[in-house]
Amino acid sequence: MAPSATERVESQITSSNRILVKPWSRPKPTSEDLEWAPLVKIDLSRFDEPGGKQELAKQLYDAVTRVGFWVVVNTGIDDARVLRQFSIGNTFFKEPLEEKRKNPCNFAEGEYFGYRENSRWIGDTGVKENIEMLNIPKAIPAYENEPKHEIMKENWEEIAKFHRDVWEVARKLFVLIAIILELPENYLADAHAYDDASDDHLRYMIYNVRTQEEWDRAQAYSKGGHTDFGSLTLLFSQHVAGLQIRTPEGKWQYVKPVEGGITCNAADTLTFLTKGFVKSTVHRVVTPPADQLNIPRLGLLYFSRPGDTTPMRPVPSPLLERLGLLTGEDKDPNHPVVSGTEYVRARVKDVHHKTVLDKREGTSFEFKGLKVQNYYD
Ligand SMILES: O=C(O)CCC(=O)C(=O)O
Ligand SMILES: [Fe+2]
């Protein structure tokens, strides 16, 4: 008898010994009528047109300074490549736990590369976190010796190319933000350069399915919002609803999936570097709507962070100067400041180096004069 399709697939695995990456496809968007946040859409295909960057910078101004979230489209990254990354991530999360556990995040040192298990309890709720993630460092010599899971080794060339191409989207955004700040165009891109050591990472992330009752218990304990730790976060269109931003008017609104788009947000270190001018927006992930409750919420993200050679000193922006935001200390190159990596690692350690997630209402985090709130209603 001819082998069935599944038998053939299994024999392919054994004969090539490679992990089979099954194509993953996006789930259907919710049909619930949710309150969606109106986000500006930045068309990156216009970036290289004459005057294009200046025009896009104008369009981005309000998003960067007031809303904190926006969407980019026409990024130049083919959707088949995006889906392939989702597929690799999805396959990774289905690997046996012993394999996933091979390279855990070293939270004791505030290092976020590697696998984060969904092993921590949420306070005293009896419910555990449902999030797993794999954080992949930049494909540069500095991280050549970072341990890699099998699936990463097998697909490394593809992952490495994708990694750099996603950073290229972040680079363009840094250029637009530098234009807004009246800085030399490459100022912020250079401060977050791909080839310099930093804790940037590409992230495969999954919110495993849990029951409504478990969601309720988890969210009753903590439904607060957070801000991201680095400078920019890029989230490839997420079709399972749940991400909400806190609007400038103080309302929670959902982020809508945009086919082929990337939802972006500014984060804490960019706020520090601009003395609060760039807004690090508060957001959270809540229970998905009923028609998506049983869909694992697979995510693909890129986190850009200032690195080892970027001092956490406010940028010399003529605009910030005119706004009176820069003090003498900010402008003094001899005033000691921490590096981007030092700050980010201190923050990661404070949030994640624990086995039970604690209540953080009313608390804040401070490291060498850089302060953020831990929790937002
Ligand atoms: O999964 C999402 O939609 C966003 C996740 C998030 O906010 C984070 O990982 O910081
Ligand atoms: Fe976040």
**Which residue ranges form the domains of the chain, and what is each CATH number?**
36-373 (2.60.120.330)
Tens digits of per-residue pLDDT, 120-174?
Answer: 999 999 999 999 999 999 999 999 999 999 999 999 999 999 999 999 999 999 9
Mutate to test the pocket of ligand 1, among 208, 283, 292, 375 (most ligand atoms within 8 A of CB): 283
**Is 255's C-beta closer than 6 angstroms to any atom of ligand 1?**
no
State mean pLDDT over 319-328: 98
Say what the pLDDT of residue 359 is. Answer: 84
Expressed in angstroms and rounded, the spacing between residue 43 Cα and the centre of ligand 1 is 23
| Cβ of 300 less than 6 Å from ligand 1 | no
User: Does 267 contact ligand 1 (Cβ within 6 A)?
Assistant: no
Q: In this structure, is the dihedral angle defined by the CA atoms of residues 168, 59, 52 and 258, taken in order, positive or negative? A: positive
Instruction: Check if 283 has its Cβ closer than 6 Å to any atom of ligand 1.
Output: yes
What is the distance in A from the centroid of ligand 1 to the CA of 206?
Answer: 10
Residue whose CA is at the smallest distance from ligand 1 atom 10: 228
Whether 12 has a pLDDT exceeding 80, the answer reads no
With beta carbons less than 8 A apart as the criterion, state whether 375 and 226 touch: yes
pLDDT surpasses 90 at 236: yes
Model's pTM, two decimal places?
0.95
Ligand 1 center to residue 285 CA distance, Å?
Answer: 7
- Nearest-atom number in ligand 1 for the CA of 243 is 3
Q: Probe ligand 1: pick from 229, 253, 281, 285, max atoms within 8 Å of CB?
A: 285
- CA-nearest residue, atom 3 of ligand 1: 243
Place 94 in a pLDDT band, splitting at 50, 70 and 90: very high
Residues 179-209: tens digit of each pLDDT: 999 999 999 999 999 999 999 999 999 999 9
Nearby residues for ligand 2 (ion, Cβ within 5 Å): 228
Banded model confidence at residue 11, pLDDT cuts 50, 70, 90: very low
pLDDT in tens, 58-76: 999 999 999 999 999 999 9
Percent of the chain with pLDDT over 70: 96
The finding on whether 166 has its CB within 6 A of some atom of ligand 1 is no
Q: Which ligand is nearest to the CA of 131?
A: 1
Residue 263 CA, closest ligand 1 atom number: 3
Tell me the C-alpha distance between 69 and 85, whole Å. Answer: 23
Which range is least confidently modeled, 101-110, 167-176, 317-326, 358-367?
358-367
Residue nearest to atom 5 of ligand 1 (CA): 285
Identify the nearest ligand to the CA of 116 by its number.
1
- Ligand 1 in reach of 235 Cβ (< 6 A): yes
Residue 238 beta carbon below 6 angstroms from any ligand 1 atom: yes
Asked if the model's pLDDT at residue 9 lies above 90, the reply is no
- 114-116/297-304 β-pairing: unpaired
Whole-number Å distance between alpha carbons of 203 and 299: 8
Our answer on whether the CB atom of 228 is closer than 6 Å to any ligand 1 atom is yes
- Residue 4 confidence (pLDDT) above 50: no
Q: State residue 3's pLDDT score.
A: 43
